[in-house]
């Protein structure tokens, strides 16, 4: 289709991490029913799914994810960095995307494709409709706090879901004759039943009582005790100098007691550190890790944003897979999300075909 030609059928794909597997199912069903898309706009997971489909890479992706276990899924994105602007560096994700898309450009895709990102410095929604596919997806999927922001188009970009999770407004700008939206947040998150919520709340209350400022504890121990024989010789002079300035009483500390103080604090936090990367199923959970807290908060915001967006801009058809129980980073559930997406899309096929006939597409 020429760039200046009005598209016949377009779809907007919602953000949502692993929930985005539902998009794949929706796109499969549309194709199976000879409903050919002319344009795809996608935010975050929607950008990834849309690019995979537009690049005809769906088969390659399914080969990767169909039998993927937790360890394998973590291997594709888990590269912790010192948390200045994000917990994960994103290099592993980029490598995965480069293996899948190579140096493919958006302009070369079989279907017109638009990725949506957010300028972290201005708050603007950024439309990416040209350039390397990998760069566009990296910018669109960089969840704030989890992945470091991406520099692209001379902007500091973060996840498209921050400003425009369901980009039906972007789709509208291209004036398709028939517009479809795939909304992954049709309802508020309801992953936890009453008993699970009570258990998590009880655990969080218990943890709060045990919480101690790690830095303050160590500082107090350092001030109270001092005489470190086992501190590395290169570090010891600086430590001694600092402690002399802090501790006017000149009270000494014993190295064994200092080491014990650190070990005591680390031991008391062993469960917390383990829980940061604990992706056990919800029925077995008694606390939330940092990734889940950020993801659940984001899902709540996205529900509200999508609700508002769909009240202002009404697509011809809205497909709403109920995938709220799937965690944002639970990529082992991608195939389950795909099947839910297929089922919901099949329900919408009669309406879509009727509209195609009515609009003479």
For the annotated catalytic residues, the residue numbers are: 44, 159
Query: Coil, helix or strand for 142?
Result: coil
Distance CA 359, CA 341 (A): 25
Q: Which of 181-220 are b and which e, b meaning 16 or more Cβ less than 10 Å from the residue's Cβ? A: bbbbbbeebeebeeeeeebbeeeeeeeeeeeeeeeeeeee
> Kind of pairing, strands 9-13 and 39-43?
parallel
Q: SS3 of 155, please? A: strand
Do residues 166 and 76 make contact, with C-beta atoms less than 8 angstroms apart? no
Any idea which residue has 């899309």 for tokens? 345
Angle between helices 45-54 and 21-32 (to 10 degrees): 30
**Phi and psi based region of residue 262 (left: phi greater than 0; alpha: psi -120 to 50; beta: remaining):** alpha
Given a contact cutoff of 8 angstroms between Cβ atoms, the answer to whether 317 and 180 are in contact is yes
DSSP 26: H
- 133-141 and 91-101 helices, crossing angle to 10°: 140
Residue in 94, 116, 213, 220 with CA at minimum distance from that of residue 164:
116
């Amino acid at each position: 289709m020429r760039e200046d030609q009005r598209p016949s059928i377009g779809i907007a794909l919602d953000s949502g991490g692993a929930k985005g597997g539902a998009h794949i199912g929706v796109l499969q069903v549309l194709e199976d029913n000879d409903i050919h898309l002319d344009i795809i706009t996608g935010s975050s997971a929607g950008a990834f799914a849309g690019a995979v489909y537009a690049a005809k890479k769906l088969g390659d992706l399914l080969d990767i994810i169909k039998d993927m276990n937790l360890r394998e899924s973590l291997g594709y994105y888990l590269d912790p960095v010192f948390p200045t602007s994000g917990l994960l560096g994103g290099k592993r994700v980029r490598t995965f995307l480069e293996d899948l898309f190579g140096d493919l450009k958006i302009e070369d895709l079989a279907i017109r494709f638009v990725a949506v990102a957010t300028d972290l410095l201005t708050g603007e929604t950024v439309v990416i409709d040209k350039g390397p596919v990998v760069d566009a997806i990296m910018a669109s999927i960089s969840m704030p706090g989890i992945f470091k922001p991406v520099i692209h188009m001379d902007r500091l970009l973060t996840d498209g879901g921050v400003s425009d999770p369901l980009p039906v407004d972007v789709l509208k700008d291209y004036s398709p004759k028939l517009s479809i939206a795939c909304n992954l947040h049709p309802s508020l998150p309801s992953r936890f039943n009453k008993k699970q919520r009570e258990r998590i709340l009880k655990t969080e209350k218990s943890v709060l009582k045990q919480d101690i400022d790690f830095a303050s504890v160590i500082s107090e121990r350092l001030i109270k005790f001092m005489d470190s024989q086992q501190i590395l010789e290169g570090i010891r002079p600086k430590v001694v100098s600092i402690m002399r300035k802090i501790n006017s009483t000149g009270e000494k500390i014993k190295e064994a007691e200092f080491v014990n103080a650190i070990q005591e604090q680390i031991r008391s936090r062993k469960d917390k550190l383990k829980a940061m990367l604990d992706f056990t199923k919800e029925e077995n959970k008694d606390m939330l890790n940092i990734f889940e807290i950020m993801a659940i908060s984001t899902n709540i915001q996205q529900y509200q944003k999508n609700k508002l967006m769909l009240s202002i801009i009404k697509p011809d058809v809205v497909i709403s897979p109920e995938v709220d129980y799937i965690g944002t980073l639970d990529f082992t559930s991608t195939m389950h999300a795909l099947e839910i997406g297929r089922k919901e899309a099949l329900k919408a096929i009669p309406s879509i075909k009727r509209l195609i006939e009515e609009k003479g597409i």
